[in-house]
Chain A
């Protein structure tokens, strides 16, 4: 682990080390700039608080905390927060709003029929169709498995943990499905829909609380297995 010196100017940061905004990562700017890294005064610096990742000619930062940026194709769990006669306004757990036009609804709707079809507070499974330069998105509910959700519960994890809990051979999301016997859908926006027996839902919620509290540990999947084995904090 290395940390940037202060009085002697910046020094390079090794892969895996923790960096804060402004820390110099490298004077060699031939690598590609990934997430959380920028070129400033001829050097590569970190712009986010997080861990340096060096992979295949690209340097990036795994941030401590990040907001969800919608990308086309993302499956997300969302809430309806408002409507007009021909569109719904969608809460994606993102900094930017999204809309669902009448033409992309899962059911046939007449102009003015939006409120009757899906009211404020409805939970939906939808897919991000397109995103403009200002990060506003259009979502669609036309597609396999996209629908209104009528049962179960939606919990949230920080969006940057989505790939962490779904990757690896002993992926946390799979451990969770097995242990809880619940249907679980993980949205790219950090929302997780869980449906099943109340005991199963409770197990999942407790387990997700553990994930949130321990997100910075070095082997989260392993720690998670141990946590489940120890009774999931019950």
Chain B
């Protein structure tokens, strides 16, 4: 990604707003942008979702392939996650090989799904030692107005819940619903104007500082954490964010489970 030009006035303005407990678009500190979630939107994917958060729009497609298992894990299938920052999604996104930001995003989304254990790789076994499923989760940005992390995370878990194992197409058996036994949800917080806020838009992202990504499961179980960019935060800041994440993750989990 091209380094954005950050006008000094933007940072000063965001700090001024933060000191008054305000954000530029009038949202509360822990308030997200207008959100829409649709599933089953991609004809060629075995599971899919489209997420819109404000003007950030992403797709996620889940597809299955057959592969031979690793010799040391003959009963287990594979999971692969990718998150593509397409150049069409923003002026600031330069075409070419994946940028460090893009790779970090891919790995954060992957961690959120994989480490939660929402996919039991033993469920992916077809013939032990011979054939297993590989589930591939492809996240794809259409429009980047900030916080692609959460949009990708939400789209990924919603697409997984929407997925069907394509037994018929591969001549293995009937199609059946892909078993996903949890709903991990990622929420991202960014320091803007000196304090952490939820769901930063692009302006806040450009003018803001460090980020913390938290993936929680049922019962507020912590599945993954990542701190991004330069900066420091205190233990009490973290506690505050965690409390906010518990609430928001529960709300989003309810939404995904209702689809």
A: residues with CB less than 8 A from B are: 79, 81, 91, 119-123, 149-154, 198, 201-202, 205-206, 234
A234 to B8, CA, bound (A): 27
Q: Which residues of B contact A154 (CB under 8 A)?
A: 7, 9-10
Stretch of B13-21, B33-41, B77-85, B249-257 contacting A (4+ beta carbons < 8 Å): B13-21
Please name the 4 residue pairs, one residue from A and one from B, whose CB atoms are nearest each other, closest first. A153-B13, A121-B8, A123-B9, A79-B7
Q: Which residues of B contact A198 (CB under 8 A)?
A: 16-17, 20, 22
Q: Which residues of A contact B7 (CB under 8 A)?
A: 79, 121-123, 154
A5 to B7, CA, bound (A): 49
A208 to chain B, nearest CB (A): 12
Q: Are B5 and A151 in contact (CB under 8 A)?
A: no
Q: Are A149 and B24 in contact (CB under 8 A)?
A: no
Subset of 15 A-B contacts with CB under 8 Å: A79-B7, A81-B5, A121-B7, A122-B7, A122-B8, A123-B8, A149-B9, A151-B12, A153-B13, A154-B7, A154-B9, A198-B17, A198-B20, A202-B22, A206-B26
Q: Which residues of A contact B24 (CB under 8 A)?
A: 205
Whether B247 sits at the interface, judged by CB under 8 Å, is no
A3 to chain B, nearest CB (A): 30
Q: Which residues of A contact B12 (CB under 8 A)?
A: 151
A91 to B24, CA, bound (A): 23
Whether B127 sits at the interface, judged by CB under 8 Å, is no
Whether B6 sits at the interface, judged by CB under 8 Å, is yes
- Residue among A79, A152, A153 with max Cβ neighbours from chain B (10 Å): A153
A201 to B20, CA, bound (A): 13
A150 to B5, CA, bound (A): 17
A201 to B9, CA, bound (A): 13
A154 to B12, CA, bound (A): 11
A122 to B8, CA, bound (A): 6
Q: Are A234 and B26 in contact (CB under 8 A)?
A: yes
Contact A121-B5, Cβ < 8 Å, known A153-B13, A198-B16, A198-B17: yes
Q: Are A91 and B9 in contact (CB under 8 A)?
A: no
Q: Are A153 and B5 in contact (CB under 8 A)?
A: no
A134 to B20, CA, bound (A): 46
Q: Which residues of B contact A119 (CB under 8 A)?
A: 8
A81 to B8, CA, bound (A): 11
- Residue among B5, B7, B13 with max Cβ neighbours from chain A (10 Å): B7
Q: Which residue of A lies closest to B5 (CB)?
A: A81
A198 to chain B, nearest CB (A): 6
Q: Which residue of B lies closest to A153 (CB)?
A: B13
Q: Which residues of A contact B22 (CB under 8 A)?
A: 198, 202
A79 to B4, CA, bound (A): 12
Chain B positions 50 through 72: 1 when the CB is less than 8 Å from some CB of chain A, otherwise 0:
00000000000000000000000
B193 to chain A, nearest CB (A): 12
B196 to chain A, nearest CB (A): 20
Q: Are B20 and A91 in contact (CB under 8 A)?
A: no
Q: Are B16 and A79 in contact (CB under 8 A)?
A: no
B161 to chain A, nearest CB (A): 34
Q: Which residue of B lies closest to A209 (CB)?
A: B25
Q: Which residues of A contact B26 (CB under 8 A)?
A: 202, 206, 234
Q: Which residues of A contact B20 (CB under 8 A)?
A: 198
Q: Which residues of A contact B8 (CB under 8 A)?
A: 119, 121-123
Contact A120-B5, Cβ < 8 Å, known A198-B22, A202-B26: yes
A234 to B22, CA, bound (A): 13
Q: Which residues of B contact A150 (CB under 8 A)?
A: 9
A151 to B12, CA, bound (A): 8
- Residue among B9, B12, B20, B24 with max Cβ neighbours from chain A (10 Å): B9
Chain B positions 89 through 108: 1 when the CB is less than 8 Å from some CB of chain A, otherwise 0:
00000000000000000000
B67 to chain A, nearest CB (A): 47
B48 to chain A, nearest CB (A): 30
A220 to B16, CA, bound (A): 31
A131 to B26, CA, bound (A): 40
A205 to B26, CA, bound (A): 10
For the A-B complex with A119-B8, A154-B9, A198-B22 known, give 13 more contacts whose Cβ atoms are closer than 8 Å. A79-B5, A79-B7, A81-B5, A121-B6, A121-B7, A122-B7, A122-B8, A123-B8, A151-B12, A153-B9, A154-B7, A202-B22, A205-B24
